Amino acid sequence: MAKTSVHPIYGQLIEEAAAACRRHYGARLVSVAVFGSVARGTPSADSDIDLLIVADPLPTGRVARSAEFAAVEQSLAEPLLRAERIGLHPTFSAVFKTRSEVAAGSPLFLDMLDDARIVVDRGGFLRGAFAAFAARLARLGSRRVWRGDHWFWDLKPDYKPGEVFEL
């Protein structure tokens, strides 16, 4: 599926979120990517803006990482209000990873390989990590299979019962 353009308001929100992440995380920020319906150009009026934030170091645990991100969200209150004034109701939904966590891979990355929009990428880290993940999938013969406007992943088409493989 080809990428479509992002609604201008979502585009502005993405730019402002990237700038807010740069300010907040500073030198710790490695990459920011947008994924999901907004990245694919298919959001509804109440779609969230899914962000992958790669930073080093990060606090341990999802709760602590989310608490730290609250400052970024607060700085985006006015841009979100602008979106609401024209009938959009976005929120930010962030996933936080360190470089080592990204390098380890994640099933979450399956749907980012084709659709993510990388907006910050110091040293090309995330592009490189996604390329390495895509190469691992290619060695397995993995493919994304479309059925109408939905898909699933056939991770190992020649899988045999009892066989163990890693992404």
- pLDDT at res. 6: 60
Residue 141, in any domain of the structure: no
- Residue 125, token pair as written in the block: 């880290």
Question: In this structure, what CATH number is given to the domain that contains residue 67?
Answer: 3.30.460.10
Residue 133, in any domain of the structure: no
- pLDDT at res. 160: 93
- pLDDT at res. 111: 85
Residue 81, in any domain of the structure: yes
Residue 14, in any domain of the structure: yes
- pLDDT at res. 5: 55
Number of domains in the chain: 1
Residue 64, in any domain of the structure: yes
- pLDDT at res. 30: 98
Per-residue H/E/C for the chain: CCCCCCCHHHHHHHHHHHHHHHHHHHHHEEEEEEECHHHHCCCCCCCCEEEEEEECCCCCCHHHHHHHHHHHHHHCHHHHHHHHHCCCCCCEEEEEECHHHHHHCCHHHHHCCCCCEEEEEHHHHHHHHHHHHHHHHHHHCCEEEEECCEEEEECCCCCCCCCCCCC
pLDDT along the chain (167 residues), means of 10: 63 96 98 94 90 98 97 96 93 97 94 93 98 95 92 93 89
- pLDDT at res. 52: 98
C-alpha to C-alpha distance for 52 and 54, rounded to whole angstroms = 6
Q: What residues make up the domain containing 88? A: 8-123
